[in-house]
Amino acid sequence: MSNKPGILWFTGLSGSGKSALAGSVQRYLQENCGARAYILDGDVLRTGLNSDLGFSDADRAENIRRAAEAARLLADAGLLVLVTFISPFRAGRQMAREKAVPFPFAEVHVACPLEVCEQRDPKGLYRRARAGEIPQFTGLTSPYEPPEAPELRINTAELTLEESTARVVSFLLAQGWLEMQ
């Protein structure tokens, strides 16, 4: 099998498991499907392409715009792009969907209750945000607008990583993003 180009946009709170799920999907696709999948990560992008941006409203919007453009470039190069971005606002995700044309785009809501995310706190960000060290922290002092009709919604508090991965791969197969060579 191989992949068609396309963009899977993983959105969810910090600590919801976006990166873990995308990493697992990437490994599965490469090892079992001969697919070329690339992870475009929000934190990584802020160290390179988006290193000049801060966290004002304008900069956050520009952050998403560039991510959407970069995802489109990678899809244009033939990749199945796994974007992991908190991307809290519907408008930003809608813009990413529109910029993806003519490539297929699907929103994966990595849904996990805030309490669970905060308990996991893999990067210690919730602790710092509660201590007032991070202003406008999504979920605490800045809103997260859940997708109303995502192509996939995966509750990582209830499913194992293997089950979550299987759901994403099944979706890609059903939608024809993976094809027999």
Q: How far is the CB of 152 from a second copy (least distance, A)?
A: 23
Residue 19 designated active-site? no
User: Alpha-carbon distance 50 to 66, whole Å?
Assistant: 8
Query: Interface residues for a second copy in 55-114 (CB under 8 A)?
Result: 62, 66, 69-70, 72-74, 76-79, 99
Q: How far is the CB of 78 from a second copy (least distance, A)?
A: 7
Marked catalytic residue, from 14, 24, 87, 164: 87
User: Alpha-carbon distance 144 to 40, whole Å?
Assistant: 20
Sign (positive/negative) of CA torsion 171, 152, 39, 119?
negative
Contacts of 98 (CB under 8 A, 6+ apart): none
- What is the secondary structure of 61-75 as a DSSP string? HHHHHHHHHHHHHHH
Q: Kindly determine how many residues on this chain lie close enough to bind a second copy according to the rule CB under 8 A.
A: 18
Which is nearer to a second copy, 71 or 154 (by Cβ)? Answer: 71
Neighbours of 96 (CB within 10 A): 24
Query: Interface residues for a second copy in 9-48 (CB under 8 A)?
Result: 36, 38, 40, 48
Contact 77, 113 (CB under 8 A): no
Which is nearer to a second copy, 41 or 118 (by Cβ)? Answer: 41
* Residues that are catalytic: 87
Q: Which residue ranges make up the site for a second copy (CB under 8 A)?
A: 36, 38, 40, 48-49, 52, 62, 66, 69-70, 72-74, 76-79, 99
